[in-house]
Structure 1
Amino acid sequence: MSSIAKKMQEQQYEDQHQQQTQTVVIRKAKISIGEVFLLCALAIMVAFMGVKIVSNQAAIYETNKEIQLVESKIDEQGKVNDDLKVQVAELSTYERIWKKAAALGFKLNKNNVKGVQ
């Protein structure tokens, strides 16, 4: 009978051991609905900010391009103005004015000329 008692005791021990191992349940962390909503909101915000940054960079690029075009036009107009100033200086010499006046029939009368200083 001792062998039967020993077998019973081993069987009870095995049952208890199986019950202990069965009661230990490992649960994986489940993501709640609120966390899913927050993660989606975060993903949308990151995507939105990325698009916003790229569009701002494109606008900055276009503005810089326009600024460079305007600056080049200003430089060209400055060159034209300088050329015109040189031309005015050449055309306003006294010799040229005297030649034009003589060609038009004007004569120099010393009585009508006054020196101004």
Structure 2
Amino acid sequence: MSNLARKQLEQQQTEQKVQVKSQVKLKKSWLTPGEKIMGLAFAGFVCFGSVHIISNQAKIYDVNKDIQIMESKISEQQKVNSDLQVQVSELSAYDRIYKKAKEMGLIKDENNVKVVH
């Protein structure tokens, strides 16, 4: 009878092992599907916002570069204008005009001058 008891005992142990192994473990996710969707939406908004900020910064950089180029052109033109103004004042001096008039043969005659009031 001892043999029979051992066989039954071994059968019970193998059945218990099979039952333990055959139990399906349910894997619980730490995030629900709704939380996953919300996380993906948040990540999408963050990516969109960062791309939007970077593109705006690039546009601002381009505009600032154009402003600096325009300011340098303006300062160069102001230098040219001031140089031309100096030339105008030098060329319109009374002594120079009088000298050129004499070279061309113009004579200053006090009798031909009429004063208009």
Identity %: 49
Q: Which stretch of the first structure deviates more once superposed, 97-106 or 62-71?
A: 97-106
For 2:71 and 2:37, the matched residues in 1 are separated by: 51
Q: Which residue does 1:10 correspond to in 2?
A: 10
Q: CA RMSD in A?
A: 2.8
Matched length = 108
Determine whether 1:93 maps to 2:69: no
Within 5 Å, give how 1:94-113 maps onto structure 2: 94-99=94-99, 105-106=107-108
Per-residue CA deviations over 1:66-93 (Å, capped at 9, x if unaligned) read 2023213212221222222320331243
Q: Which residue does 1:20 correspond to in 2?
A: 20
For 1:104 and 1:34, the matched residues in 2 are separated by: 101
For 1:46 and 1:104, the matched residues in 2 are separated by: 84
Determine whether 1:50 maps to 2:47: no
Structure 1: unaligned runs, 5 residues or longer: 109-117
Q: Which residue does 1:76 correspond to in 2?
A: 76
- The offset of 1:24, in angstroms, is 6.2
Q: Which stretch of the first structure deviates more once superposed, 58-67 or 94-103?
A: 94-103
SS at match of 2:25: coil
- The offset of 1:64, in angstroms, is 1.6
Structure 2: unaligned runs, 5 residues or longer: 111-117
For 1:24 and 1:84, the matched residues in 2 are separated by: 95
